Structures are given as structure tokens and as C-alpha cells.
Structure 1
Amino acid sequence: MGLITGLCTFLYHLPQIYKWLLKPYYITSFFMTVAFLVARKAPGLCEHLATQREDGNSCDFDWREVEILMFLSAIVMMKNRRAITLEQHIGNVFLFSKVANVMLFFRLDIRLGILYLALCVAFVMTCKPPLYMGPEYIKYFSDKTMDEELQRDSRVTWIVEFYANWSSDCQSFAPIFADLSLKYNCPGLRFGKVDVGRYGEVSERYRVSTSPLTKQLPSLVLFQEGREVMRRPMVDNKGRAVSWTFSEENIIREFNLNELFQKSKKLNKSHGLNEEEQNSTQPEEGSNELPSETNNPEQPTESKKDQ
């Protein structure tokens, strides 16, 4: 039954997987993942490789290689139990497969191990996972605009994600946060993001550690009347994040998004009336005052880059 469910899930996501395979990051990751398998099974190449098999067949796995591959499968299955998105599942497969390939190549020939490890380092330094570029209603803050925007209107509730582009967890969470913004964004409930990897002052001001060891990225913070009300994940006395799953269901439940959205409808009506009054108000003759600009909440944010 589990095999059938997995096959159905794979077929359901096949168009998305096909789209990913067209991107250089995933193409390169795939070939690096199957590198040892190809080397061990490729005719004309496998005959020249060393083996510890009793029959001397160098084109088949020996018992130690099978053991390493089985251990790899167990680790990937354990890690994928906590994975939320398909990107996280595939990312875990790529990551631990590369680790296993390093071990297998070093065991086979130290020169091949060094070569493969050098390729992995070059890949990490030059090839980054593609960023989410889908539809969203998210305001991207900088170190200069964040406080100003949070204090602009005390009636507006903000849910702000603190993220870093180098964090794979943040990249995997991006489509989930974007989907929530599409469902719940309104004048009284807004969604924002700030890159604490780029703006270190913001991370210090809001006590969000960018160290991979603390596992605080991504962090979601709820602001009401410009003040922090709650955040997930919570942080213990040692400065480490308490384990928390960034699934859409958990966020809706923990942040009471349905209730916040219902309350924001009243603000939506009053906000619309206030906008009409402001638009109907003209500056007096000789005055330097200009009517304030109004934002259309139904328009997506400007871009993926911080302003």
C-alpha cells in the first residue's frame, strides 16, 4: 500500500519534477548523485576498478558498498519523515547521496575520492538552488524600511519571516509562506520577509541568530501594534530553536490565521472608508501638503529583491 501511495505521489508531482530537471542545479545534482553507480556499472570503465568481491567481478557492488548504500537509504528515510515539501525530500536525497559517494570513491581509490570531493566543493560554491519566484503578496523589508513599516499603522497585524538565501530550509519554506500570503493577505493582515543574512543589524535587533547551529532560520514572528507577540520556532535558554515543523497546517493553527483573517475584514471595511475620505480631501491653496498615497492590497509585491 505504501509503495502504491508513493508511486501515486510521484506521478502527481511528475510535471513539477520535470520542470526542475530543466534547471542546471538539479541536473548537476542528479549526475553527481548517480556518479558512483555509473562508474561501477558502466561497461568499459568498471573493468578497471578495484573490488573486494570473491568472484572478482568489478562491475558489481561488493558487500561493503551494499552496506553503505543501505545505510544511506535508512538515513534518507529518517530525514524525509520531517520533510514537508517535495523540494526538501529531493534535497535530502541529493545531500546524503553525495556524502555516500564521497565515502565510496575514497574507499575505491583515494584519487577518485579527492576528485569527487573537489567537484562537490566547486558545485556548492558556484551552483545555488533556484529561488522561489511564484506569485505572492509579500512585502520585502530592508534594515531601513522594516521598523517604519511595522509602525506605520497600529491596526495592521504583520507576520514576518526572517530568512537567509543560503539556508536550504528557508528556500524550502518559501512556497509555503507564499501560498499563505495568497490566502490570508488583506489590509489588516500583511505578510513580510527580511533577509537577515544580508541585514545583520536586523537579526541582532530582533534576536534572530543566523548561525546554522542554532537552527533559528527560518523564523516567523507575529507583530501587532508594532510589537512582537509570538514567534516560531521558540528559542530555549541556550539560544537554540525548539524543534518545530513549518507546515501550512501548523502555521495556521499556531498563529490563528483564520481568526486573524476574520477580524481583519472589519478593518478592511473601515480602511476602505478612510481611503475614500483621504482621496476626497484636497490640499488647501498655497499649501505644500500632498494627499497621502494609498497601497492596493490586491497587488503582489514589487520583486524578490529587497528594496
Structure 2
Amino acid sequence: MGLITGVLAFLYHLPQIYKWLLKPYYIVSFLLTVAFLVVRKAPGLCEHLATDREDGNSCDFDWREVEILMFLSAIVMMKNRRAITLEQHIGNLFMFSKVANVILFFRLDVRLGILYLALCVAFVMTCKPPLYMGPEYIKYFSDKTIDEELQKDGRVTWIVEFYANWSSDCQSFAPVFANLSLKYNCAGLRFGKVDIGRYGEVSQRYKVSTSPLAKQLPSLLLFQGGREVMRRPMVDTKGRAVSWTFNEENIIREFNLNELFQKSKKLNKKQNGFRTEDGSEELQQETSEVQQSTESKKDQ
């Protein structure tokens, strides 16, 4: 039954997945991933390649190549145990496949290895993963607006994601955070994001390191009354993030989102109860803020 449900879910989302995979980043990544397989199996080319097979068949994998590919499969499976989105699963597959291809090409022919490595470097420098552009209810902060907005109304609780566009973990987490904002955003519970890769002062002010070694990206901080109440992941004495999985269930549980949402809805009811002509202007202002945040996201 579970298998049937999974297949039906895949077929339901197939049009979206198909449209998503047609983006240039994923097309080129796929071509780089299967490059060694194509070279090793291509008629007219594979006959001229070196091989360690006893039968001398250079159009099939030798035992060392099979060993490398099996090791690659094990690494991808271990890495994907902590993946929470389809983008992360596919991203891990692409990344480790490229590493394996570099090893395989250098082992096959140094010239092919140098050529493939050069293509990978050019790809990394010129082609970036597509940013999440789906629906969300998130306000994007700059270094000049974050403090003012967090302290503007002490009754509002803010959950703010500190991220960087170059971080693959942040890009993978974007749809999860957007989905939470759609479910839980209300007058008393708001969601925000700030690109600390772009605003270094904010990174220092809120003590969120952008170093890849610190592994603090993304970081979620909960603010009440303009003050930080908690953050995930937590940071140890050496400045490194304590391992924590950024999935929807963990965030709802750790940040008590259901309880916060129920309390925050009371503020929403009070505001709606006393809404007048000024209230309609506030509603229009909130709508314009959402539009502005969407535009700023596209600019990034």
C-alpha cells in the first residue's frame, strides 16, 4: 500500500518535477554526472580506452571502476539519510558523482581528467543552483531594517532565518521555511530572512558565522520583544554548530510553533475586532510588504 501511495504521489508531482529538472543547472549537472558512463560505453570511442579487464573489453567497467562506483553509491546513501528535500537528494547525487568522475577520468587518462576537471570548475563558476521562487509569507531584511523591524512591536514574535545564497544547505531549506511561513504566519507570528553572506555586519551583530567550517548556515533565531529567545542549531564552545536536522517536524517541535500560533492568533483577532479605515490601510500595507519581499527575493 505504501509503495502504491508513493508511486501515485510521484505521478501527481511529475509535471512540477519535470519543469524543475529542465532548468539549465540540473541539465548540465546531469550531463556531467553521466559523462564517464557515456565515454566508457560510446561506440567508436570506448574501443580506444585503456582497461584492466582480463578479457580486454574496454567498453565495459573494470573491477576498480566498479569498486569506485559502489563506494560512490554508499557515500550518497549515507549522505542522503539526512537530506530533507528532493533538491538535497539530487544535489548530493550530482556532487559526489562529479567527484567520482574526476577520479575515474584521471585514472583512465590524465588529459581526460584535466578536461573534465576544467569543465566542472567552469560549471561551478558560471552556473548557480536556481533559487526557490515559490509562494511564501516572508519579509526580507537588510542590515538597516532588521533591528528596527524586530523591535517595532513587542507583541510580535519573529522567526528569522540567517542564510547565504552560496550555501547549498540554505537553498535546500528555502522551500521548507517558505511552507512553514504559509502555515503559521499571522499578525503575532512573523517570518523573516536576512542574507548574512551579503550583510556581514548582521552576521557579526547576531553572532552567526558564515564560515563553512562553523556549519551555522542556515540558522533559525526566535525573537520575542526584539530579543533573541532561542536559536537552532546551537553553537558549542568552539564556535561550531551542534548537529541538528532542519526538517519541518523538528522546527515545529523545537520552536513550539503550534502553541505560538494559537497565542498569536489572539492578537490577530484583537486587531481585526478594532479594525477601522486605518485598519484597512494597515492590511494594504502588509500586502505591499509581501509584494516587496517577493521582488527583493527575485533580485537576489
In the alignment, residue 120 of structure 1 is paired with which amino acid? C
Would you say 1:47 and 2:37 are equivalent positions?
no
Partner of 1:14: 14
Partner of 1:150: 150
TM norm structure 2: 0.92
Shift of residue 11 of structure 1? 4.4
Is 1:162–1:220's contact at 8 Å kept on the other side of the alignment? yes
Aligned partners of 1:298 and 1:271: how far apart in 2? Answer: 18
Partner of 2:296: 305
Provide, for residues 84-115 of structure 1, a one-character-per-residue CA deviation record: whole Å limited to 9, x for no partner. 00100000000000000000000000010000
Is 1:136–1:301's contact at 8 Å kept on the other side of the alignment? no
Mapping 1:67-82, distance limit 5 Å: 67-82=67-82
Is 2:165–2:195's contact at 8 Å kept on the other side of the alignment? yes
Shift of residue 274 of structure 1? 5.1
Q: 1:3 to 1:105 in 2, by over 3 A?
A: farther
Q: 1:105 to 1:4 in 2, by over 3 A?
A: farther
Partner of 1:205: 205
Higher alpha-carbon Rg: 1
Partner of 1:185: 185
Shift of residue 22 of structure 1? 1.2
Q: 1:9 to 1:103 in 2, by over 3 A?
A: farther
Partner of 1:263: 263
In the alignment, residue 296 of structure 2 is paired with which amino acid? K
Aligned partners of 1:22 and 1:292: how far apart in 2? Answer: 41
Would you say 1:34 and 2:34 are equivalent positions?
yes
Provide, for residues 28-68 of structure 1, a one-character-per-residue CA deviation record: whole Å limited to 9, x for no partner. 00000000000000101101111111111100000000000
Q: 2:285 aligns with which of 291, 295, 301?
A: 295
Q: 1:75 to 1:8 in 2, by over 3 A?
A: farther
Partner of 2:251: 251
CA RMSD of aligned residues (A): 2.4
Partner of 1:171: 171
In the alignment, residue 137 of structure 1 is paired with which amino acid? Y
Provide, for residues 137-156 of structure 1, a one-character-per-residue CA deviation record: whole Å limited to 9, x for no partner. 00000000000000110000
Shift of residue 266 of structure 1? 1.2
Mapping 1:265-280, distance limit 5 Å: 265-273=265-273, 275-276=275-276, 278=278
Is 2:139–2:289's contact at 8 Å kept on the other side of the alignment? no
Aligned to 2:290, what secondary structure does the other structure show?
coil
**Structure 2 gaps, min length 5:** none
In the alignment, residue 300 of structure 1 is paired with which amino acid? V
Aligned to 1:295, what secondary structure does the other structure show?
helix
Partner of 1:132: 132
Partner of 1:284: none
Partner of 2:97: 97
Provide, for residues 152-183 of structure 1, a one-character-per-residue CA deviation record: whole Å limited to 9, x for no partner. 10000000000000000000000000000001
Is 2:156–2:189's contact at 8 Å kept on the other side of the alignment? yes
Shift of residue 277 of structure 1? 7.8
Greater Cα offset, 213-222 or 294-303 = 294-303
Shift of residue 297 of structure 1? 6.2
In the alignment, residue 198 of structure 1 is paired with which amino acid? R
Is 1:133–1:304's contact at 8 Å kept on the other side of the alignment? no
Would you say 1:141 and 2:141 are equivalent positions?
yes
Aligned to 1:249, what secondary structure does the other structure show?
helix
Is 1:275–1:294's contact at 8 Å kept on the other side of the alignment? no
Shift of residue 295 of structure 1? 3.1
Aligned partners of 2:287 and 2:77: how far apart in 1? Answer: 42
Is 1:140–1:304's contact at 8 Å kept on the other side of the alignment? no
**Structure 1 gaps, min length 5:** 281-290
Aligned partners of 2:296 and 2:219: how far apart in 1? Answer: 19
Is 1:170–1:217's contact at 8 Å kept on the other side of the alignment? yes
Greater Cα offset, 4-13 or 116-125 = 4-13
Q: 1:254 to 1:292 in 2, by over 3 A?
A: closer
Is 1:197–1:210's contact at 8 Å kept on the other side of the alignment? yes
Aligned partners of 1:21 and 1:5: how far apart in 2? Answer: 23
Aligned partners of 1:125 and 1:148: how far apart in 2? Answer: 36
